[in-house]
């Protein structure tokens, strides 16, 4: 079942986006288009994509003109081919022109994240591995980009630093090693949703296993080394399962190799930091 989005929770964010773009006012539209003119706009897919953010797209125009009506033809998580129209908007011409860029930028960005995520999810289908995002998100857009990952079929990792313990290379160095970091992290029991540690070789892995973290992140390892690490974790798993996660250097071309190595999770920063915006256009015509 596709995820849902409470658009009302993003009113302030959308309004801030509009303030940024409108500045002191849309002087081009205000001087060339009558306030009484009404118009209709169609969103058109120019490339294959997974739709994400269509309700936010519509809400931008409702903010500018509460009398706006929107016909949503395709919903988030649906796949479109070139030429398909996910939504039509009827509003004042001024609202359509002034809101077009914000609405389209957001829809293109979120649909790009969902589209790339769907590609990764399909690449590991049947292996049992899940595709996760990271905190490599656009400041101010994290919740929406993580929503788009879910739309694409992925799973969210930590939403913020307060959710869980994730001990990375710099933490280990500053704490004085794997043992010291994991011993200190026990103080977070009850506060953190889970305790996870990053390891880069089998020696660090063995040290981590002695402390029984919830998750071990296998960072920048080859698929062959990941397979060895997973086998060691499985041999150690008793009575409680320690999950494994692979990250670093993972692309759409090699992600299946990592999945077939047996990891539970594969985290991919590119889902949010490198997803290209999809190609959509917004064509506006006057109402007769």
The residues annotated as belonging to the active site are: 101, 136, 168, 198, 219
The 3-class SS string of the chain reads CCCCCCHHHHHHHHHHHHHHHHCCCCHHHHHHCCCCCEEEEEEEECCCEECCCHHHHHHHHHHHCCCCEEEECCCCCCEECCCCCCEEEEEEHHHHHHHHHHHHHHHHHHHHHHHHHHHHHHHCCCCCCEEECCCCCCCCCHHHHHHHHHHCCCECCCCCCCCCEEECHHHHHHHCCHHHHHHHHHHHECCECCEEEEECCHHHHHHHHCCCCCEEEEECCCHHHHHHHHHHHHHHCCCCCCEEEEECCCCCCCHHHHHHCCCCEEECCHHHHCCCCCCEEEEEEECC
Cis peptide before 10 (omega within 30 of 0): no
The residue written with tokens 């905190």 in the block is: 135
Contact 97, 89 (CB under 8 A): no
């Amino acid at each position: 079942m596709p995820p849902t989005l409470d658009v009302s929770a993003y009113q302030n964010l959308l309004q801030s986006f509009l303030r940024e773009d409108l500045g002191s006012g849309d002087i081009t539209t205000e001087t060339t288009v009558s306030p009484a003119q009404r118009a209709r706009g169609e969103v058109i897919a120019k490339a294959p994509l997974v739709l994400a953010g269509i309700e936010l797209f519509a809400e931008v125009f409702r903010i500018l003109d509460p009398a706006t009506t929107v016909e949503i033809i395709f919903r988030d998580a649906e796949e479109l081919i070139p030429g398909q129209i996910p939504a039509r908007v009827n509003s004042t011409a001024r609202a359509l022109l002034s809101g077009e860029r914000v609405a389209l930028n957001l829809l293109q960005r979120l649909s790009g994240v969902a589209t790339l995520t769907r590609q990764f999810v399909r690449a590991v289908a049947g292996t049992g591995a899940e595709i996760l995002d990271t905190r490599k998100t656009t400041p101010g857009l994290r919740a929406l980009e993580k929503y788009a990952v879910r739309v694409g079929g992925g799973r969210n990792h930590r939403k913020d630093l307060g959710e869980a313990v994730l001990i990375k290379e710099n933490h280990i160095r500053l704490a004085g090693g794997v043992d010291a970091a994991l011993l200190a992290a026990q103080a977070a029991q009850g506060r953190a949703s889970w305790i996870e540690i990053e390891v880069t070789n089998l020696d660090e892995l063995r040290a981590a296993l002695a402390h029984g973290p919830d998750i071990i992140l296998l960072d920048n390892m080859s698929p062959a080394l990941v397979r060895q690490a997973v086998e060691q974790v499985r041999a150690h798993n008793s009575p409680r399962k320690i999950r494994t996660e692979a990250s670093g250097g993972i692309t759409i071309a090699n992600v299946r190799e990592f999945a077939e190595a047996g990891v539970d999770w594969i985290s991919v920063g590119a889902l949010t930091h490198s997803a290209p915006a999809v190609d959509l256009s917004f064509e506006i015509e006057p109402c007769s």
